[in-house]
Structure 1
């Protein structure tokens, strides 16, 4: 049985692998670095972002939306 996909760790891993900073990712979604940084430090496995922002990040990073909880 496959391990469940955890959207927040998956996003963080994709950002690391592609060397995308929080600042760059924040620009992609049109938000401030502080806004995104706060959400990436959440004590959760879920992404606390609107679906449209997750969609933009997923497309930018080349990660299927299903892996980001959408």
Structure 2
């Protein structure tokens, strides 16, 4: 018969969970800012430059969010 191992104690909820939540929020904010900058760069282009990228004015938001044109 093997000896019984007690289960390790659980970490108390609090700071560790809050740090993870804060990190996720920070990453979400960073991603939002990156998408906003990308969209601003695309909106600054003229129609010819957008045409070279196979985009039009209506597809800029989608391309900035997803990195490609809708299929």
Q: Please, what TM-score do these two structures have when normalized by structure 2?
A: 0.31
Q: Whose RCO is larger (CA < 8 A, sep 6+)? A: 1
Q: Which has the larger Rg?
A: 2
Q: Please, what TM-score do these two structures have when normalized by structure 1?
A: 0.31
